[in-house]
Amino acid sequence: MNKKGSYYRYLNRFGWFCVAPAMVFYSLFMLYPILSSLYYVTRRWRGMSNTFVGLGNFARMARDQIFQQAIGHNFAFMFVQIPLMVFLALILAVILNQGIRRMRGTFRVIFFLPCVTSLVAYSVLFRILLQNNGLLNNIMLNAHLLAEPIGWLNDPFWAKVTIILALTWRWTGYNMVFFLVGLQSIDTEIYEAAEVDGASKRRQFFRITLPLLLPVILFSAVTSTNGTMQLFDEPNILTNQGNPANATMTAALYIYRQAFVVNSDFGYATAMSYVVVLISGIFAFVQMRLLGDRGEK
C-alpha cells in the first residue's frame, strides 16, 4: 500500500513538473498583464509619468468622439458583415454537401483557402485591386458599368464597403467548414422521413436543417462578433490606419494608436480595452440567450 501511494505521489509530482513551464509562461504573458491592467486603468501612465486619475479615463472616454465613432464602425461592420458572411457560408455549405458530387474536396479547399492567407498579403492585394486605377475599376470602366472610378479606399462610404468585402472574402470559407461539419452530422434518415411525408426541399431546409444547425450558427456568430470587435489588420493596412478621415477607424486600431503611436497613454488604452471586452461579452450573452434558447426548443 505504501509503495502504491508513493507511486501515485511520484506521478502527481511528475505531472506538476510537466505543466510547470506552461503555467509560468501563462502567468507571465496572460495572468500578469490582466492583473496589472487593473492598476493601469486608474492611471494616466506614459512611461515615466504615472498619475492616479481614478475613473478619469472612463470620463475622458465619454467625451472622446473618435472612440465613439470607432465603436460605431465596429457595430456597422458587425451588423452588416456577419449576417452576410453567415448566410453565404450556410448556402455554400448546403451546396457542397448536397448539390455537388464531383470535385467536392477541391471546392472546399478553394473556399477555405482565403482564411489561411496572410492578413498582410491579402490586404495589400485588395489595395492593389481597389485603387482608383486598379483592376476592378478598369474592368467596370471598360464594360461601361461606371462613368468614373469608384474611390474604394478614398471615399468614406466605399472604404467601409471595402472592409466588409475583404472580411467576407476571408472568413466565409472558414465558417463554411463548420456548417459542413454540422450538416454531415445530421442523420439522413430525418430527410428521408420528411420526403416520405411530402416535405419539399425548401421546407426541409427551414424545418430540419436550420433548427439542427443553430448550435453551429451560434458558435459562428459569437466568434465572428468577438473577431469584429477586435478588428485591426484590415483597417490598418487597407485604409491606412482607419482613413479616410477616421471613416474606418475601429476600436482596436484606436486603442493601438493611443497606446503606441500617438499619446503612449497605456492607462487610457487599457480603459478602452475594458469597454470593448464588456461590449463583446454583452453581445455574446445576448446571442447565446436568443439562439441558445431556440436551439434547445
Coil, strand, or helix at residue 212? helix
Confidence at residue 95, expressed as pLDDT on a 0 to 100 scale: 87
Residue linked to cell 497613454: 265
| Residue whose C-alpha is closest to residue 235's, from 221, 225, 245 | 245
Tens of pLDDT, residues 168-225: 999 999 999 999 999 988 888 888 898 888 888 889 888 888 989 999 999 999 999 9
Q: Is 212 exposed, middle or buried (0-12, 13-18, 19+ CB in 10 A)?
A: middle
Judge whether residue 109 has pLDDT over 90.
no
Confidence of residue 2 (pLDDT cuts 50, 70, 90): low
Closest CA to 92 of 159, 223, 209, 180: 180
- Measured between alpha carbons, how far is 272 from 62 in angstroms, rounded to an integer? 10
Ordered domains of the chain (ranges, CATH): 56-296 (1.10.3720.10)
Q: Are 127 and 153 in contact (CB under 8 A)?
A: yes
Is the predicted pLDDT of residue 101 greater than 80, yes or no? no
Residue 3 has pLDDT above 60, yes or no: yes
Mean pLDDT of the chain: 88
The pLDDT value given to residue 288: 85
- pLDDT for res 156: 92
- At 292 the pLDDT is 65
Pairing of β 49-52 and β 43-46 = antiparallel
Give the SS3 label for residue 128: helix
Let me know: does 267 contact 41? Beta carbons within 8 Å: yes
Name the H helices within the chain. 2-26, 32-40, 56-63, 65-94, 104-112, 119-129, 135-142, 156-184, 188-196, 201-204, 210-229, 233-237, 251-256, 266-296
pLDDT (0 to 100) of residue 164: 94
- pLDDT score for 296: 55
Question: Considering just the CA atoms, what is the radius of gyration of the chain in Å?
Answer: 25
| Distance from C-alpha of 279 to C-alpha of 75, rounded to nearest angstrom | 10
pLDDT band at 255 (very low <50, low <70, confident <90, very high): very high
pLDDT average, residue stretch 221-245: 90
